[in-house]
Amino acid sequence: MTKRKGSGVDEYIARCPKEAQGDLAKIRAAVRAAAPGATERTDYFQWPGYSYPGFDYDGMFVWFSFKKPHVRLHVRPPVIQEHSKELAGYATTKAIVSFPMGKPVPTTLVKKLVRASLKAMKDKSTNSIKT
């Protein structure tokens, strides 16, 4: 994992309520495990995000955030639709999965969604080169 000097992720988590910090740290660890070598940063939306250079959206493929009463994982839009059955028990939008605080963070699912978001970014980039 490439960590930019002062990526701001530690600070972001520290600014969130204490009851959310552990869940945010679990999501962070799951993202790092699923996307080794990604750059960790907070300069895009001011949320912790992860990127690989050379792709659209400056290579950004996943973010996480806190919005009471949820910790949220932001992914590329096709990911939510592709995993709708697995996400049936969670609040979702076009590109956000909300995990309720106080319940265990489904880290295996988070890793799966991160890998799918990374794949969606790479696929989109490959398809746009072909057209």
What pTM did the predictor assign? 0.89
pLDDT bucket at 130, cuts 50 / 70 / 90: very low
Is the per-residue pLDDT at 66 higher than 90?
Answer: yes
Q: What is the mean pLDDT of residues 30-47?
A: 93
Q: What is the mean pLDDT of residues 1-19?
A: 80
Correct CATH for 2-130 of 3.30.930.10, 3.30.70.2190, 3.90.1150.200, 2.40.50.100: 3.90.1150.200
**DSSP bridge pairs for 97:** 73, 92
Is the per-residue pLDDT at 4 higher than 50?
Answer: no
- pLDDT confidence of residue 131: 42
